Structure 1
Amino acid sequence: MTKKLIKLIVFTIKNLNFSLPIERVYKILNRTTIYSSGTNQVGIAHISDREITVIDLHRRFFKASLINESESNGYLVILQNTTGELYGIPVAEAPILMDVPLSTIRVLPETYRQADTLEIARHVAVIPQGEGALTVFLLDVDLLLPKLQTTH
């Protein structure tokens, strides 16, 4: 019996692991200059011939910005939501492509999602690794931007 797998890109922000379905990833680029007032968790980057909204998840979760750090460090994960809008997430280290068994993915309790800053994740994967396990929060790309429009 074969296990059903889902392809995810996995990246770390501070001490938390996050993932996105590979089909939502448009491309991964070396970090470029991100323009931001610094007053909230959103910035903008010039990518080819378009402007991409950049969401600073590090600031959102830990109240300290990654956007204003050196542009030469890290990567920019460019995502596409279900309406086709592109936006980016800056990450310090290159994301990893993983095949994750569907059986390791669990739904996060609604009460937890409403009480914590991780409301943008609906699921968590607990992936066995050696003697321990890797806990990865699966981000919902459609919850990232709408929430930002009402957050100040």
Structure 2
Amino acid sequence: MNSNQILVPPRAQAPLKLVAFSVPPLQLALPIAQVQKILNCGEIGGSGLSATGIIRMDGEEIMVVDLQKRLFGGNQGKITGVKAYLLIARTSKRERFGLVTAQAPALMDVPVEQIRVLPDSYRRSDTLSIASHVARIPQGDSNPPLTVFILDSDRLLGA
């Protein structure tokens, strides 16, 4: 997804459907149009030296990204599938990839007026260079708004 591209559904009033997941302490999401499926995470191969691994699915090898390790570093060893979920999605170039998350992703309807483009200067200077947009979602009177960063899948695989 191009960072200048606006994530607006065909009907401007319709909320944008996002598949949201937690990478503590962050809340991240992908537009549902990019998500193919969510599975229980099996064994993921790889050296364990980077935040990426590989899994065979539907007759093809798919790169899997451990966002916890990618964003926050650390030597956590191999990507693990123990009590984890695997979110399979596609980039704008139709390349499939996977994201590992410890908690089940959730479907969210986010009002378009709550979504803002992240400035390029922020993206260049922050850990979240892989996010293109941010949504601040009200959570009621007594709770602070939920901040959800919407990932740019092209940057995620290309960064």
Task: Calculate the TM-score normalised by the size of structure 2.
Answer: 0.85
More deviation in 46-55 or 97-106?
A: 46-55
Q: Conserved in 1, the CA contact under 8 Å of 2:49 and 2:78?
A: no
Q: How many residues align?
A: 146
**Residue in structure 1 matching 2:156, options 127, 144, 151:** 144
Residue 135 of structure 1 is matched in structure 2 by: 147
Q: Conserved in 1, the CA contact under 8 Å of 2:53 and 2:79?
A: no
Amino acid at match of 2:24: K
Gaps of 5+ in 1: 148-152
Q: Secondary structure at the match of 2:129?
A: helix
Task: Calculate the TM-score normalised by the size of structure 1.
Answer: 0.89
Q: Secondary structure at the match of 2:43?
A: coil
Q: Given the alignment of the two structures, is residue 97 of structure 1 paired with residue 103 of structure 2, yes or no?
A: no
Higher helix share: 1
Higher strand share: 1
Q: Secondary structure at the match of 1:23?
A: helix
Residue 67 of structure 1: how far off its partner (Å): 7.0
Q: Secondary structure at the match of 1:61?
A: helix
Deviations 1:100-132 (A, max 9, x none): 000000121221110112011111000001122
Amino acid at match of 1:128: P
Residue 22 of structure 1: how far off its partner (Å): 0.2
Amino acid at match of 1:136: V
Gaps of 5+ in 2: 1-11
RMSD: 1.7
